[in-house]
Structure 1
């Protein structure tokens, strides 16, 4: 049940039951072999079946280097507690079942009993002990859990917006430096898209929800190509403004009438952000597109 709790990044705890090393090093040991130190005793209640347990959690290797931590990960761990599903067999679950709100506990576990075969992550050495710190921060009923979820979601959104704003400033500087170096005069939108109309078209511009057909060539700022409809010999058709393409395309192509051509300089928050897209587009890549509005309807 709790295998996923530490399954973050390189961490993948594979067994609910954990065999602990023989040398206790002053730790207390349960009859099931669970080696632990009760670091702090709180004054709160124990969780009841169906309640949600909020935990602070960290995993350290034999040199005390942090492999995973909710403190650095930015979010606590949560699961719904049922005592009958907490096996008392020397497992993480047994340790958690011993805790009340406000308690914290430190466990020692043999790395070999968690990471088997070739699944040992970087930083973990076979034949050594790992240290697991668990703190039971809160116990919530259904309504409290839903409020906690909403608060966590808002925190993540605020963090993402702050990171995007920081990256946008970096990307704008890269684009403006590039344009200055090349002697290119570009226009920009309020959202941070830079563009140059290289050929005027005629008629109206497309509206959200219309199908637009475009030819394009995509490169990085250094000219490295990654995609081209010209190379495929066929234009690309999509519905404008509904998220079928990156935001920079939805915004930039809405500026073009039939027959118009432009070069779009798209900062990464309006492209693929921190995601990797194939071998060429690295996280936080600024993209440059030569685009041609073939038609729309």
Structure 2
């Protein structure tokens, strides 16, 4: 359960999340565009023709440490979004549903300045390669690339209020790819008495029955499925890929990644999650399913949060699918 996104993730989300750019008819109808018009040529550019042509004018240069710099025409504008694979990597192929780790820089199309770099912060980020969570031009590029690929993604800079449709650019290198689990896998654990009862359907989607359970005053952490002993362990600084569902203690569901049809990614860092998640998931292994019962002081306390009333005790079932 996210408390808020880190600054770096906000910068990335500005670029990659579906619907992030102000919609235009050109953007809505954007489609893959081959590098040249020859039949059978591998597609390396995605977006409408005008935006793709602009990407062809951008120069990608690297310093001795392999950190890219983009040289762009300024000021530059864009009608929607566009992506260009500058160079395909020679690593593992990237497929839909996988999670890629990327290093990237963000460059302003208004003045050409570099706005952000994961290289400087030594904090690469991970993205779920998904049609629903990524802008189409970026999804199409990533799903057809390989580890080691260099990619330029361009979209409208929502912060450049003085220049309508000002462009902003992300220069990214795919450094890794992983296959998250579909659901928790491991040994079933008999839960302690007095906790809510969890039932799974055939797909692994959980439901909860509080019944006569007494509402706890302290954090309750109960493994329902114990992941393999040699599995990766959730640690601070990781990106965690998980499926989860959350309920208020009275049994009312308020959120579920299962309902959205894909897992969620979150930075496992102090201050970025409610404290009940940070305490309850630290040290858990990939493949585990964990029941968390979180008292208000480790959740949202006296503050309302969307569908969660103030002073709510929360119940979560979390499937840990991967860490990056």
TM-score when normalising by structure 1: 0.36
- Give 1 or 2: higher helix fraction: 1
- Give 1 or 2: higher strand fraction: 2
TM-score when normalising by structure 2: 0.33
